[in-house]
Amino acid sequence: MPNTLEVSGLKTHFLMRAGVAKAVDGVDFSIAKGEVMGLVGESGSGKSITGFSIIGLIDPPGRIVEGSIKFQGEELVGAPEERLRNLRGNRIAMIFQDPMMTLNPVLRVDTQMIEALKAHQNIGKKEAWTKARDTLGMVGIPAPDERMRAYPHQLSGGMRQRVAIAIAFLNEPDLIIADEPTTALDVTIQGQIIHEAQNLCRRTGASLIWITHDLAVVAGIADHISVMYAGKIVEQGNIDDVIDRPAHPYTVGLLGSVPSANNRGQRLYQIAGMTPNILALPKGCSFKERCDRRTKTCEVSPEAVERNHRTFRCHHPYFEEVEV
C-alpha cells in the first residue's frame, strides 16, 4: 500500500515585483497511514505554503514550479482543478489558524456542515444532519443539538475552531493538514483541541500534518518531525531522535532557546541574527550567516544526507556531540 502522502522535490515560488520568492524550495517528505508529522518553522520558513501546495490552493503570483505530490499514489501536481476540488474537504482536509477561513459567517453551522457532507457524499438531508451533529459531539462540543443552529459569531474562538475541525473530519478524510490550529487559543483550550484531534485521527486512521512554530506542541503529538528553514527542510526524522539528538545547528538552536525548568534564571541559548529574507537568500547554506559552525564548505548548499534514521542538510552536523 502506498504512503498516504509523498512529496518530493516540491518547489513553490512567488513571482513578485521585488524578485522570485522561493517560499518552498525543494521539500521532500512522506507520511504513512495514521502517522502524525509535525512541520515546524518560523515565520517565512514556507511551512504554511507547503500545506497550501498540497491541497492545491496556491494562487498567482505563486506557482508550483517543480516537484511531485503523490496522494495515495495519485499525482496531484498538474491534476485538473475538478479533481482537486473533489479531493479537498473529502479525502484531504485543512484546518486553519483562523477558523473563519473555513466558516461562512452568514450561514448557520448546520447548513454549512450538511452542505459539506452533501458535496461529497450521496446522503439524505436527515442522515446528514444526524452525522453532522454526531461529529460536533465527537469534537467535544457540549449540547451539539443547540450548537447546530448557531451562527459562527455566536460561538467563542475555541468553539469555532472545534466546529472547523468537525467540518474537516466530516467526510473522514485520509489526510488532515492543520496550519497553526491552536496558536490563537488559550493553553487550556489548546489542550482540548489537541486532545480531540489526536482522538479523531486515532479513531479514523487519518494522517495528520501539524504545522506550527511551537516545538513543545509537536513534541507532544507527532511521530515524525520536519524542521523547515528558508524554504527547505533542514532536518527530519523520528521525534525522539530529532529532539533528543538534533543534528542541524538550527534545530539545536531552536531547542536551546525554549525556556524550561532546567535552565530557570539562566541565559537562554540564542540564535544570532534574524529570520532570513527569502527574496535574497545567501548563497550556499541559507543558515550559514547565523551559524557558529560555518566554514568555507558552507558556501556550497548542503544536500540532504540520511544517517542514523534521519535526514538533514548540513555539512557540520552535531551528531552525538551535544546532549540537550
Partner 1 sequence: MTEVVQQDLASERQVQTIDSETPFKRFVSEFFDSKTASVALFILLSIIILAVIAPWITPQDPYDLAQVDVLDGRQPPGAEAFSGYTMWLGSDGAGRDLYSGILYGLRISLSVGVMSGFIALLIGMAVGLLAAYAGGRAENVIMRVVDLQLSFPAALVALMLIAILGKGVDKIILALVVAQWAYYARTVRASALVERNKEYVEAAACLGISHARIIFRHIMPNCLAPLIVVGTVQTAHAISLEATLSFLGVGMPQTSPSLGVLIANGFEYMLSGRYWISVFPGIALLVTVVSINLVGDHLRDVLNPRISTGGGKAK
Partner 2 sequence: MSAPLLEIRNVSKRFVKKLDVAGKIAARLGANISEETVHAVDNVSMTINKGEVVGLVGESGCGKSTLGRVVAGIHNPTDGQVFFEGQDISALEGVRKREVTLAVQMIFQDPFASLNQRMRVEDIIGEAPVYHGLTTRSEKSDYVDEIMEKVGLDPSLKKRYPHQFSGGQRQRIGIARALAVKPRFLVCDEAIAALDVSIQAQVINLFMDLREEFDLTYLFISHDLSVVEHIADRVLIMYLGRVVESGITEEIFDRPVHPYTSALLAEAPRLDQRKREFAPIKGEIPSPLEPPSGCHFHPRCPHAIGDCSRQAPALEVVRRNHIAACHLRERFG
Which spans of this chain sit near partner 2 (rule: CB under 8 A)?
Answer: 42-43, 142, 156, 158-159, 186-192, 194-195, 198, 213-217, 219-223, 239-240, 243, 253-261, 263-265, 267-271, 274-275
Which residues are 6's β-sheet partners? 30, 70
Residue 118 has φ and ψ, to the nearest 5°, of -70, -20
Binds 198, which of partner 2, partner 1, none (CB < 5 to 8 A, cut-off by type)?
partner 2
Work out what residue 89 binds among partner 2, partner 1, none; the CB cut-off runs from 5 to 8 Å by kind.
Answer: none
Nearest to 56 by CA among 105, 103, 7, 15: 7
Q: Binding to partner 1 by residue 49, rule CB under 8 A?
A: yes
Q: Closest distance between partner 2 and the C-beta of residue 6, in Å?
A: 24
The nearest distance, CB 293 to partner 2, in angstroms, is 16
Which residues have CB under 8 Å from 283's CB, separation 6+?
Answer: 299, 301
Q: What, of partner 1, partner 2, none, does residue 59 touch, CB below 5 to 8 Å by kind?
A: partner 1
15 binds partner 1 (CB under 8 A): yes
- Is 280 a residue that touches partner 1 (CB under 8 A)? yes
State in angstroms the smallest separation of the CB of 115 from partner 1.
18
Q: Which stretch binds partner 1 (CB under 8 A): 70-78, 95-103, 110-118, 146-154?
A: 95-103
Between CA 256 and CA 56 the distance in angstroms is 35
Q: How far apart are CA 63 and CA 199, in angstroms?
A: 35
Where b means 16+ CB within 10 Å and e means fewer, 19-42 reads eebbbbbbbbbebeeebbbbbbbb
Question: Is residue 210 part of the contact set for partner 1 (CB under 8 A)?
Answer: no
Contacted entry of partner 2, partner 1, none for residue 194, CB cut-off 5 to 8 Å set by kind = partner 2
Nearer to partner 2, 104 or 156 (CB): 156
The amino acid present at 88, given as its one-letter code, is R
Q: How far apart are the first and last CA of the chain?
A: 37
Q: Pairing between strand 224-229 and 36-40?
A: parallel
Q: If DSSP codes are grouped into helix, strand and coil, which group holds residue 324?
A: coil
User: What is residue 98's three-state secondary structure?
Assistant: coil
Residue type for 7, please? V
Q: Which of residues 56-75 bind partner 1 (CB under 8 A)?
A: 57-62
Binding at 189: pick from partner 2, partner 1, none (beta carbon under 5-8 Å per type): partner 2
**Single-letter amino acid code for the residue at 189:** I
- Which of partner 2, partner 1, none binds 257 (CB below 5-8 Å, type-dependent)? partner 2
Binding footprint of partner 1 on the chain (CB under 8 A): 14-18, 21, 23, 43-44, 48-49, 52, 57-62, 96, 98, 101, 179, 274-280
